[in-house]
Amino acid sequence: MSRHHADAMPHVNTDRLWQWHMRMARFGATGRGGVNRPALSTDDIELHKQIALWARERKFDVEIDDYGNQFMRRPGTDENCAPLVSGSHSDSQPTGGRFDGISGVLAALEAVEVMEEARIRTRHPLEIVIWNNEEGVRFRPTQMGSAVYAGHARLGPLQAAVDPQGVSLETEVDRLRQAVDFASERSLGKPFAGYLELHIEQGPILEEEQIDIGIVTSIQGTRKFEVQILGEAAHAGTTPSRNRRDALVDAVNVVKALQILFYDPLDLVRFTIGQFEVKPGALAVVPDNVFFTIDFRHHEDAVLKSLGDQVKAVCEDAAERCNVSVTETRNAHSENFPKSVQKIVETACSARGYTYRYLPSGAGHDARYLNAFCPSGMVFIPCRNGISHNEAEYADPAALAKGAQIVADTLLMLDEQLAS
Amino acid sequence: MSRHHADAMPHVNTDRLWQWHMRMARFGATGRGGVNRPALSTDDIELHKQIALWARERKFDVEIDDYGNQFMRRPGTDENCAPLVSGSHSDSQPTGGRFDGISGVLAALEAVEVMEEARIRTRHPLEIVIWNNEEGVRFRPTQMGSAVYAGHARLGPLQAAVDPQGVSLETEVDRLRQAVDFASERSLGKPFAGYLELHIEQGPILEEEQIDIGIVTSIQGTRKFEVQILGEAAHAGTTPSRNRRDALVDAVNVVKALQILFYDPLDLVRFTIGQFEVKPGALAVVPDNVFFTIDFRHHEDAVLKSLGDQVKAVCEDAAERCNVSVTETRNAHSENFPKSVQKIVETACSARGYTYRYLPSGAGHDARYLNAFCPSGMVFIPCRNGISHNEAEYADPAALAKGAQIVADTLLMLDEQLAS
């Protein structure tokens, strides 16, 4: 293993990286400091084109696949090697921020730019990727582009996906190809040598602990449930407690029991009741119907199983007078990144003197689907107050630069260590 | 005190009373066993006219006041006496039953009919009243007719009240007067010697205890509150518990604390959370906003005060991380009927060998506003499963007859005992 490449890696350019962020933030800017950039909207296509033009100026090939994933390829010294790929997504939530997704694309871009400037060659080709439709806002499901690319979803039904206005994904991919008319076709599933993705943490841990880099151990698994509680409506003034079958009273009992089930002194369990609806919803009428959702996540599959498997019984036992039904709507296991890749990121942090910690990802990311496809890893950087999916989302220029630096350094080390 | 009148009182006619109910149930019949009879709708006006025609056949005066309250007057032997009045309302909830309100009107009608047949004369004139707009569905507020008549509400704003289609109360009272064109004007506030109202219980107690007659001690007071809990929205996957300000978590804490406050082993407290709204209401977002209502009722003002005065502090103390604001939207004291009238009802029950019990009224009734106007009382009869404000509402013909009998007997005793 030759060390000279990584040692030779110069610093990324903090200002240039920040300017890239500010340029990209104009596409879909909301006027309140955020962005609204649906997947393959005109704004999003313009963004893709800007990055494709940057690549063309450097004589990199640009490729677009049938799902609108766009790849910018810097050649390697051994073109028989599969590429090392880094990037993320460019679409946003309706009131999204300027960093979610795009910062991972720009970290990869800056890493490649620095290698260009320093004339550092890698054995593997390096590819910057923009995954399409990660947020799942315009088309369903989330992480569509990466899931299809890596073979997790079948082609037909997803390509026919339409947005709420009835515009199909296929139509919009055609529009992207027209805008980036110098791009060539990319086959889905074309192999990667490795995948690395930078993302803002979207949580408060790194900022609270004043840590530069999060080394992502896993994308936590999730189980989702719907709970329906049926009682009997009654007159609030005349009906004694003993005659009531109050759905809200039992719902509160059920929620309390679930809180006990999911209580975790380590604070690693994520348990949320986000939707909670009470009917008929009249001041003087005892409610007969409560519906609520459970969003449960954990990075260990054993915990997902042991706690998740108790949900139904806990709900049923806690209800005293009403009928309870529990439906599981999703069960996705935890995705663990290989320790070898995590270790390389750690080495990169140590070499730069950056502080780091290992942590699981609470949110889902494109890297979830790449992990079974090639050796994969993720790098988190802090974001202010952990706020994301919000126009107030903010990441510091220095934090973005440190993240891009680790992406650059890690890519070089992966280039040395990974097979072709 | 002469006993001969009450002793002489013959039995009411069970079949005739039931037939009256079934005739009245045709006005606004829903086809599903219930009625939809908004105040002074065409159906309701037709009902008024039928009863007015019955009165005219017996040469009773019919009077209508400016709020659409209609009085049918059987003369007394001493026309210097103020009338003894009995009745209730004829309007219904949108999916109402065939007994709520109208059974009180018909009990008074049957009582008078039996006196006519038996040629029993009373010293006081006897009046059957149909109060207008008790339900408060078509016009606001509830119990409008009786409240205005007894001087609890000012004339101007209420008379200008309009229904959801913009039709004014005044217009509809004119329509009633045209339909009942033989009615004369009644002045608001014209004195009563006494007031007696029969109503279905709208609760399960009499039926459960297999009791014929409820002697109503009071109309329980009520305090109503709105509680607003404000936290902070956050990502369900990434935000640790320690960083959350989950409005639903605190709302559940607040509800639990309120349940402890209002817990009553005697089961006389009526505590209901009927409206409960959670925002933003998305599966994967920690809620930042919960709004709920409290409907609290009790027949003792001391309990209303002691518990109601603690609501604000209990809510504020129970919330651990969110901001809580509590607004009291209504505070109506308990209305206690005079023991003298209750005692006469008890005597009537004993004389007939009917089972009875004392109980407070959970719901509001027109008698609430008459009680400060003249000596007043209420008689409850059982209804099936305590169900009311529902098309399934049902009262047994025999139960209706026993109630009307007690109205008749009590009116005769009041006639003997009350001053002019």
**Confidence (pLDDT) at A153:** 74
A262 contacts on B by Cβ (under 8 Å): none
Q: Shortest CA distance to B206 belongs to which of B26, B361, B70? A: B361
Q: Closest partner residue to B238 among A202, A238, A277, by Cβ? A: A202
- Residue B141: cis peptide before it, omega within 30 degrees of 0: yes
Helix (H) / strand (E) element for A277: namely strand A276-279
pLDDT tens for residues B36-54? 999 999 999 999 999 999 9
The tokens of B186 are what?
Answer: 């009644």
How far apart CA B5 and CA B412 sit, in angstroms, is 6
Q: Looking at this protein, which amino acid is placed at residue A65?
A: D
Q: How far is CA B165 from CA A251, A399, B92, B141, in A?
A: 38, 61, 18, 16
Give the pLDDT score at B360.
92
**Spatial CB neighbours of B384, under 8 Å, sequence gap ≥ 6:** B207, B392, B393, B394, B395, B396
Q: How close is the nearest chain A Cα to the Cα of B106, in Å?
A: 23
Contact flag A388-B264 (C-beta cutoff 8 Å):
no
Identify whether the C-beta of residue B269 lies closer than 8 Å to the C-beta of residue B303.
Answer: yes
**Residue B23 in this model has a pLDDT that exceeds 90:** yes
CA angle, residues A300, A302, A306, in degrees to nearest 5: 125
Work out the pLDDT band at A94, boundaries 50, 70, 90.
confident
Q: Span A183-200, mean pLDDT?
A: 97
What residues in A contact B237, CB-CB < 8 Å? 202, 220, 222, 270, 295, 297, 361-364
> Across the interface, do A235 and B205 touch by the CB < 8 Å criterion?
no
Within 8 A of A209 by CB-CB distance, chain B residues are: none
Q: Which distant-in-sequence residues (6+ apart) come within 8 Å of A258 by Cβ? A: A271, A273, A294, A311, A314, A315, A318
What per-residue confidence (pLDDT) applies to B3? Answer: 45
Q: Which of B38, B47, B35, B36 is nearest to B137 (CA)?
A: B38
Query: Taking 80 as the threshold, does the pLDDT of residue A203 lie above it?
Result: yes
The answer to whether the beta carbons of residues A349 and A237 sit under 8 Å apart is no
ipTM of the complex: 0.78
Peptide bond into A141 cis (omega under 30): yes
Q: Which of A100, A226, A235, A269 is most worth mutating to test chain B (most B CB atoms within 10 A of its CB)?
A: A235
The model's pLDDT over A320-359, given as tens digits with 9 standing for 90+, comes to 999 999 999 889 899 999 999 999 999 999 999 999 999 9
**How many CB pairs (< 8 A) connect A and B?**
168
Helix (H) or strand (E) holding B64: strand B61-64
Residue to substitute from B143, B276, B289, B296, interface A, most A β-carbons within 10 A: B276
CB spacing of B274 vs A297 below 8 angstroms: no
**pLDDT score at B41:** 97
Half-sphere exposure for B396 (CA within 13 Å, toward CB): 15
pLDDT in tens, B151-173: 987 666 777 889 989 999 999 99
3-state secondary structure of A418: coil
B264 vs A246: CB contact, 8 Å cut-off?
no
pLDDT of residue A272: 97
H/E stretch holding B184: strand B184-185
CA distance B263 to chain A (A): 9
What mean pLDDT is predicted for residues A402-408? 98
Distances (CA, A) of A53 to A47, A49, A180, B252: 10, 6, 8, 54
Please determine, for residue A134, whether its predicted confidence score (pLDDT) is greater than 60: yes
Q: What does pLDDT average to over chain B? A: 94
Write down the architecture of domain B221-332 according to CATH.
2-Layer Sandwich (3.30)
Q: How far is B282 from chain A (nearest CA, A)?
A: 5
Q: What is the pLDDT of residue A155?
A: 63
Q: Tell me the C-alpha distance between B354 and B213, whole Å.
A: 7
At A2 the pLDDT is 41
| Model confidence at A195: pLDDT above 60 | yes
pLDDT band at B93 (very low <50, low <70, confident <90, very high): confident
Least-confidence region, from A83-97, A149-163, B12-26, B328-342: A149-163
Asked if residue B326 has pLDDT above 90, the reply is: yes
**Within a 10 A sphere around the Cβ of B70, how many other Cβ atoms?**
29
Q: Looking at residues B331-339, what average pLDDT do you find?
A: 93
Query: With 60 as the cut, is the pLDDT of residue B2 above it?
Result: no
For chain A, give every domain's residue range.
4-219+335-417, 221-332
**To 5 degrees, how large is the angle CA B22–CA B206–CA B15?**
25
Q: Kindly identify which residue of chain B lies nearest to residue A219, measuring between CA atoms.
A: B237
Question: Which pLDDT belongs to residue B336?
Answer: 94
Which residues lie below 8 Å from residue A157, measured CB to CB, with a gap of 6+? none
User: Tokens in use for A42?
Assistant: 């005109």
pLDDT-derived band at A154 (thresholds 50, 70, 90) equals low
Question: Residue A202: which of B235, B278, B364 has the nearest Cβ?
Answer: B235
C-beta neighbour count of B317 within 10 angstroms: 13
Closest A-chain CA to B299: A237
Mean per-residue pLDDT for B258-282?
A: 95
- Tokens 């919000």 sit on residue: A390
> Which has more pLDDT, A376 or A236?
A376
Q: B221-332: same fold as B4-219+335-417?
A: no
Rounded mean pLDDT, A388-403 = 94
- With CA atoms as reference, report the closest residue to B90 among B147, B54, B137, B124: B137
Predicted TM-score (pTM) of this structure: 0.78
Compute CA distances A271 → A206, B313, B318, whole Å: 21, 29, 21
**Which residue from A minimizes the CA distance to B276?**
A278
pLDDT band at residue B180 under the 50/70/90 scheme? very high
> In chain B, what residues touch A284 (CB-CB under 8 Å)?
272, 274, 295
CB contact under 8 Å between A388 and B235, yes or no, is yes
CB A166: neighbour CB atoms within 10 A?
Answer: 7
Give the residue from chain A lying closest to B220, CA to CA: A237
Task: Return the residue of B nearest to A221 by Cα.
Answer: B237
Q: Do B252 and A248 touch (CB under 8 A)?
A: no
- Write the pLDDT tens digit of every residue in B275-298: 999 998 888 889 999 999 999 999
Q: Do A272 and B222 touch (CB under 8 A)?
A: no
Contacts of residue B44, Cβ cutoff 8 Å, sequence gap at least 6: B27, B28, B37, B38, B90, B91
- Considering only CA atoms, which of A371, A361, A258 is closest in space to residue A307? A258
| Per-residue pLDDT tens over the stretch A262-311 | 999 999 999 999 999 999 888 888 999 999 999 999 999 999 999 999 99
Q: What confidence score (pLDDT) does residue A176 get? A: 98
Q: What are the residues whose beta carbons fall under 8 Å from the beta carbon of B249, sequence distance 6 or more? A: A259, B320, B321
Q: What does B85-144 look like in DSSP terms, one character per residue?
A: EEEEE----TTB-SSTTHHHHHHHHHHHHHHHHHT---SS-EEEEEES--S-SSSSSTTH
Q: Residue B309: helix, strand or coil by DSSP?
A: coil
The percent of residues above 70 in pLDDT, for chain B, comes to: 97
Q: Closest approach of chain B CAs to the CA of A190, in angstroms? A: 31
pLDDT digits (tens, 9 = 90+) for B129-158: 999 999 988 988 889 999 999 998 766 677
Query: In Å, how far from its chain's centre is CA B224?
Result: 18
HSE value, Cβ hemisphere, 13 Å, CA-based, for A176 = 33
pLDDT tens-digit map of B188-235: 999 999 999 999 999 999 999 999 999 999 999 999 999 999 999 888
Nearest-CA residue of chain A relative to B361?
A: A238
Residue A32 CA, distance from chain mean position: 23
Specify the CATH architecture of the domain B4-219+335-417. Answer: 3-Layer(aba) Sandwich (3.40)
Q: Is B237–A286 a contact, with Cβ atoms under 8 angstroms apart? A: no
Cα distance between residue B330 and residue B206, in whole Å: 29
By the 10 Å C-beta count (0-12 exposed, 13-18 middle, 19+ buried), B164 is classed as exposed
pLDDT for the residue numbered A390: 85
pLDDT, position A1: 36
The C-alpha atoms of residue B298 and residue B223 are separated, in whole angstroms, by: 9
Per-residue pLDDT, B1: 36
How large a percentage of chain B has pLDDT more than 90? 85
Residues forming beta bridges with residue B168, ordered by sequence position: B162
What is each CA distance from A291 to A225, B215, B332, in whole angstroms? 11, 40, 33
Average pLDDT over residues A15-43: 96
Residue A115: what pLDDT?
A: 96
Residues from chain B contacting residue A282 (CB–CB below 8 Å): 274-275
Q: What's residue B161's pLDDT?
A: 87
